[in-house]
Amino acid sequence: MARKMVDCRTMPSDINCTLTIAGEEDEVLDAAVAHAVAKHGHEDGPELREGIRGGLVDVEPALA
Ligand SMILES: [Zn+2]
């Protein structure tokens, strides 16, 4: 399975977060949701998950 990453810098954010999470899609999704709820004040739910899933990109070889 291809590793994916989500970069907080590409997400709308009011705390100038620079976190990057990389791993398999489900792992990234779970971690990113937990992070979004804990640090960005988002509410866990289908909308948040779909939004994060839409922001996933393939991990560059240097980070894989
Ligand atoms: Zn963040």
Tokens 């866990």 belong to 44
Residue 58 host element (H or E): strand 57-58
Q: Which residues of 17-49 are buried (b: 16+ CB within 10 A; e: fewer)?
A: eeeebbbeeeebbebbbebbeeebebeeeeebe
Q: What is the pLDDT of residues 10-42, one digit of tens each?
A: 877 678 899 999 999 999 999 999 999 999 999
Q: How far is the CA of 31 from the centre of ligand 1 (A)?
A: 11
Q: What is the pLDDT of residues 45-61, one digit of tens each?
A: 999 999 999 999 998 77
pLDDT at 42: 93
Query: Exposed (0-12), middle (13-18) or buried (19+): which is 3, by Cβ within 10 Å?
Result: middle
**pLDDT above 70 (res 63):** no
The pTM of the full predicted model, rounded to 2 decimals, is: 0.84
CA of 1 to the centre of ligand 1 (A): 25
H helices of 1-64, in order, are: 25-40, 46-54
